[in-house]
Amino acid sequence: MTEVTDRGLVVVTGAGGFIGGHLVGELRRLGYGAVRAVDVKPLDEWYQVFPGTDNRVLDLRRPDACAEAASGAREIYNLACDMGGMGFIETHKAECMLSVLINTHMLMAARDAGCERYFYSSSACVYAAGKQTRPDVEPLKENDAYPAMPEDGYGWEKLFSERMCRHFYEDFGLETRFARYHNVYGPHGTYDGGREKAPAAMCRKVIAAQIDGASDIEVWGDGQQTRSFMYIDDCLFGTRVLMASDIREPLNIGSDELVTINQLLDIVEDIAGRKFKRRYNLTAPKGVRGRCSDNTLIQEKLGWAPTIRLRDGMEKTYRWIYDQMAMPAARRRAYV
């Protein structure tokens, strides 16, 4: 895809987080001259900070903060929300639902600022739970979100915010795009503290066992639940292509490489060169029994789908987390 660098001001919210930080870096590498990065966290808690970027610490639950973030923007990528892995979203449903304030106020601010395009990061958690009850799950198509019965809390907020994006186009002419991300992973993200997702958690557990000399690790559930995991580079490319397209309907952006949690751990152990005894915690948060992305529509609409193999992405993720865990705490934040 040919890059057009003279796009005016591009705003990325959630820029102190995992996907947002990578997106800011990608836009800067591609030559976007004016990028504003926004996050609620103090700057020294951002995962990546880039020189020459307009970095702002703002609480986007507030309308005035959203107006400041959107001022002068030609494009907005809204990735800001309160979220984490299954251990977080199953126990913080109200907090996840409150993220609706961010998208509500950002949409209003984008409209009022005359923004030309607005991207919203939705999630595979919008899909009906009844279609995800078996490990050998049928890949989820975009129309499987209705009749609606999404992940309680987080999934409902995402599905509602999708509808808001749609109606802001219909009522106000704001060009909105939204993608349903499926389990994005990679370096420069959360790997401990309760918000981490399965790929990072597995890396952390194996690395910690190596460092501590432990012989076993804990696995949430029975290890037979299935997921697909998408490497960050595929996520970034798909997001930018979708934003530049004329597709106003939701699209899956996710891998269709289905694995069990046990197989994910097999991959991490192979990278580490160590095997561990597995303790299965059947009372831990597990989420749906199976989930995988159907990429038929994105192939049809964009002529592309994620292709990076899980083993290749996990190798890079593992190496980054290992370096973080092995180095002194004061040096762990990545400033580029």
**pLDDT per position as a tens digit, 211-268:** 999 999 999 999 999 999 999 999 999 999 999 999 999 999 999 999 999 999 999 9
Token reading at 105: 């106020």
Going by pLDDT thresholds of 50, 70 and 90, the confidence category of residue 328 is: low
Q: Where are the alpha helices (DSSP H) in 184-260?
A: 198-212, 232-244
Residue 3 burial (CB count, 10 A) = 12
Catalytic residue from among 32, 77, 120, 154: 154
Going by pLDDT thresholds of 50, 70 and 90, the confidence category of residue 333 is: very low
* Residue 5, CA distances (Å) to 2, 8, 177, 241 in order: 10, 8, 20, 15
- Give CA–CA dist 88/56, Å, rounded: 26
**What global pTM score does this model have?**
0.92
Judge whether 154 counts as a catalytic residue: yes
